[in-house]
Amino acid sequence: MKELALMKGNEAIAEAAIRAGVDAYFGYPITPQSEVMEYLTLQKPEERTGMIVLQAESEVASINMVYGAAGTGKKVMTSSSSPGISLMQEGISYIAGAELPCLIVNVVRGGPGLGTIQPSQADYFQATKGGGHGDYRLFVLAPASVQEMADFVDFGFEMAFKYRNPVLILTDGLIGQMMEKVELSPQKQRVEEFDQSWVTTGKTDDRERNIITSLNLDPDRQYEHNLKLQEKYRSMKQNVMFEKIDCDDAEFLLVAYGSSARICQKVVDITRNRGKKIGLLRPQTLYPFPTDEIARLARKVKGMLAVELSAGQMVEDVKLAVNGRVPVYHYGMLGGKIHSPEDVLSAVEEKFIGGF
Amino acid sequence: MEIKEIIREENLVYKRTPLMTDATLSYCPGCGHGTIHHLIMEVVEEMGIQSDTIGIAPVGCSVIAYDFMDVDFTQAAHGRAPAVATGIKRLWPDKFVFTYQGDGDLAAIGTAETIHACNRGENITIFFVNNGIYGMTGGQMAPTTLEGMKSSTSPYGRNSEAMGPPYKITEMIARLSGTYYVTRQAVHKPGPVRKSKKAIRKALEIQRDKKGISFIEFVSNCNSGWKMTPNDSNIWMEENMFPFYPMGDIKVDGKLVNG
C-alpha cells in the first residue's frame, strides 16, 4: 500500500534519509534548510533505525565528520545552504580526492556573501564545476518536486557508492520549504554487512593497512590519480537523467532545472494552449549534464532559452552542448526573487515568437 | 659466538615494535616525532588492539604518519582531525580512534574542532605534539611559540603585544567537563619516555573503558626550526619550554589535579 504524506521538501529529505537506511547525519543550522536536522532529531532516528544525528560546531566540522565517517564505508550525509556549503568546500575536495561516498544537500539561497534566505540557483557553477580546489566533479542531482527530494536521497547514495564519489543534491529554498504530496519508500534496514576491503576498520594480519588520504606527494602518482578520477567523472555520463516535456514537435526549447523548471512547465502549458510549439528539457542531473540530448535537440529546434534563478550559469553548458548550431538565450532572476510564468513568457515572446 | 646466539629472547632488553613499518622516518634527526610514534605503536602492540585501531594524521610534519605506524589511518585536513575522529568513532564506537596533531594544527587552525570534540567528550584520544613552531612549512610562529622566541615569521622574537602571547590550550580543555585525562609529557630523555608510555597506555585504556576523551600533550623539540643541534634543542626546551609548559598530569579521572 502506498504511504502518502504532505511534507516540506526539507522534511522529505530527512524522512527519506531515515528510510534509506542512512547511518549518520552531521549538520549545522542555516536557513533555509534547518528543517532537515530539526525533523531528524524530532524523529529519534537512533530509535527508528540506529541512525546517528549530530549537530556539529560548524559546517567545517560537519563535512570533516562526514569525511571521517565516510571512510568507514557507511552511508553518511550532511546538508546546508550556500554560505555553509562554501565553508565545506575544502572538505568536499578532500572527500573527492580520497574517493569516498557521501551525500551533500545544498538548499541554495541568494548570494554572494550572506545574501538573502530566499530561493536562488546561483550556486550552479560551484556545484557542477568542482567547487573546491583541484580538478574534481560531484555527481549533482536537481530535484524539481518534494517527491524528487525524497527519491534522490536513496538514488544519490546508489550513485555515491557506485562511483565512490560525493553526490550533491542541488535544490533551493522554494523546493525545500514548499509542501507537496509525497509517496514515501518503505523502510530499508541499515546495512550491517558491506564491502570493507578499503575502509578503516583496524588492520588485520591478512591485509595491508587501509589509508584514507588525498595526499600524493609524488607528482607521478598524483598525475595517475588525476587521470583515474577524470575517467571516473566521464563514466558518470551513463547515469545522466533528464525529463522531456513536449519536446517531440517543439520549435523552441526551454532548458531549466529545479524550481525554474516548475515555472517553465506552466509556460509550456500556456504557449501550447495558444498553439505555439514550445518544449521543456529539464535536467535531473546537472553533472553529468544532458549534453548529448541537448545537442540532438539543437538539430530540431530554432532556438533555446535557458531559464535560471541566476545571472546565467547553466546557460554556458547549454551553449557548449549546442555549439553554435542555434541561438541560445538566457532569462534569469536574481536576488532571491522568483520569476513568474508571465515573466518567462515575455522573454519567450521577445526571443522566439515576436508576440502572440 | 655468532650474532644469533647473542640475540636470544632472554638476552633482549629492547626490540623494535613490529607495528612500526620499515619505511625510513621522514623526520629530522633529533626530532621527537619518531619516539612518540614508537611509543604509541608499542602500546597498541602490547594491548593487542592493532586490528581495532584507527589513527588520524594531521597536516604538518606528521602528515604521512601513516607511512610509519602500521595501523589503519585517515589523513585529515589541517586542524580537522578531531572532527574526522568524531565521525569515525560515532560509527565505530568500539574501535580505538586517536588523532596525532601538532601545535599549529591543533591549537591554531583546529581550535574549534579541538575544543568542541573535548567538550562533547568524544571517546577518542588526542596526541598533541607541541614544539612551539610550524615545522613542515619552514619554522613559522605557532600559537605556542614562546614570548621573545624567534621564528621565520617573528624574526625579531615573538612580541606578545603585537602578535598575542603563547597560550596553553591543554589547560583550557582540561576545564571542559568532557575531558577525562589530560597530561603533559616529553620524550627527550629515558625517564620522560617511560612516563610518556605509561600515559599513552592510560589514555588508550580510558578509551577502551569508554570514559571520555584523553589528551596527551608532548612538549617536544624542533631542532631544525629552532636552528640548534638536537642536544642544544633539548637543553633549550628544558630551560625555556618546560617553565611555561610544565610537565605532569593536569586532569586525572575527570578531576583537575590542582583544581
Q: Are residues A14 and A138 in the same domain?
A: yes
User: How confident is the model at residue A353, as a pLDDT?
Assistant: 67
Report cis status (omega within 30 of 0) of the bond before B82. no
Give the mutation candidate from A203, A206, A210, A218 for the B interface (greatest B CB count, under 10 A): A203
* pLDDT recorded at residue B29: 95
Q: For an interface test with B, give the residue of A54, A66, A67, A218 to mutate (most B CBs within 10 A).
A: A67
Q: Which residues of A touch B66 (CB under 8 A)?
A: 209, 211, 213
CATH number of the domain enclosing A260? 3.40.50.920
- Do B77 and A94 lie within an 8 Å CB cutoff? yes
Whether residues A65 and B66 touch (CB distance < 8 A) is answered with no
Residues A42 and A109 both lie in one domain: yes
Domain of A174: which CATH number? 3.40.50.970
Q: How much is the average pLDDT of B218-224?
A: 97
Asked if A179 and A258 sit in the same domain, the reply is: no
Number of Cβ atoms within 10 Å of the Cβ of A354: 7
A132 chain-B contacts, CB cut-off 8 A: none
ipTM: 0.95
**Mutate which of B56, B62, B88 to disrupt the A interface (most A C-beta within 10 Å)?**
B88
Query: How many pairs of residues across A and B have Cβ atoms under 8 Å apart?
Result: 126
Q: Does A209 reside within a domain? A: no
Q: Which residues does B contribute to its contact with A (CB < 8 Å)?
A: 49-54, 56-57, 63-64, 66, 70-77, 80, 83-88, 90-92, 95-96, 112-113, 116
Cell numbers placing B75? 589523513
By the 8 A CB rule, do B84 and B63 touch? no
Q: Which residues of A touch B63 (CB under 8 A)?
A: 215
What are the cell numbers at B172? 583550557
Is A90 at the interface with chain B, CB within 8 A? yes
Which residues of chain A are under the pLDDT cut of 70? Answer: 353-356
Do A193 and A259 share a structural domain?
no
For residues B141, B144, B148 and B152, what is the CA-based torsion angle, rounded to 10 degrees? -10
Determine the Cα–Cα distance for residues B200 and A89; give it in Å rounded to an integer: 35
Rounded to a whole number, what is the distance in Å from the CA of A134 to chain B's nearest CA?
14
Note whether A200 contacts B53, CB cutoff 8 Å: no
Same domain? For A233 and A273 the reply is: no
Give percent above pLDDT 70 in chain B: 100
pLDDT reading at B3 higher than 90 = no
Is residue A215 assigned to a domain? Answer: no
Domain match, A197 and A297 both = no
Average pLDDT on B35-55 reads 98
- Residue A341 CB partners (closer than 8 Å, separation 6+): A263, A264, A266, A267, A270
Residue B88: which of A72, A91, A213 has the nearest Cβ? A72
Which residues in chain B have Cβ-Cβ distances shorter than 8 Å to A24?
Answer: 87, 90-91
- Answer yes or no: do A35 and A174 share one domain: yes
* In a shared domain, residues A232 and A278: no
Q: Are residues A196 and A268 in the same domain?
A: no
Least CA distance to A206: which residue of chain B? B51
Of A116, A119, A29, nearest in space to A79 by CA: A29
Cβ-defined contact of B113 to A71 (cutoff 8 Å): no
The cell for B162 is 603585537
Residue of B nearest to A68 (CA): B84
Which of A56, A72, A209 is the closest to B70 by Cβ? A209
Q: Which three cell numbers stand for residue A93?
A: 575536495
Tell me if A64 and B91 make a contact (CB, 8 A cut-off).
Answer: no
**Residue A43 shares a structural domain with residue A169:** yes
The residues spanned by each domain of chain B are 28-256
Please tell me the distance in Å from A171's CA to the nearest CA on chain B.
25
CA distance A64 to A355: 54
B87:A201 CB<8 A: no
pTM, to two decimals:
0.96
Whether B70 sits inside 8 A of A56 (CB atoms) is no
Q: Touching check for A241 and chain B: CB below 8 Å? A: no
CATH superfamily of B28-256: Thiamin diphosphate (ThDP)-binding fold, Pyr/PP domains (3.40.50.970)
Helical (H) or strand (E) element with B74: strand B72-75
Quote the number of domains for chain A: 2
Instruction: Give the gap in angstroms from C-alpha A31 to the nearest C-alpha of chain B.
Output: 22
Q: Which of A238, A263, A296 finishes a domain?
A: A238
Domain membership flag for residue A29: yes
Q: Which of A210, A238, A266 is the last residue of a domain?
A: A238
Residues of the domain holding A255: 241-353
Which pLDDT score, from 0 to 100, does residue A356 have? 43
All three cell numbers of A61, joined, read 566540522
Contact at CB, A209 and B66, closer than 8 angstroms: yes
Mean pLDDT over B126-131 rounds to 98
Same domain? For A266 and A297 the reply is yes
Instruction: Work out whether the CA dihedral A117, A123, A126, A128 comes out positive or negative.
Output: positive
Nearest CB to A61: which of B75, B83, B96?
B83
- My answer on whether A49 and A194 are in the same domain is yes
A42 domain residue, yes or no: yes
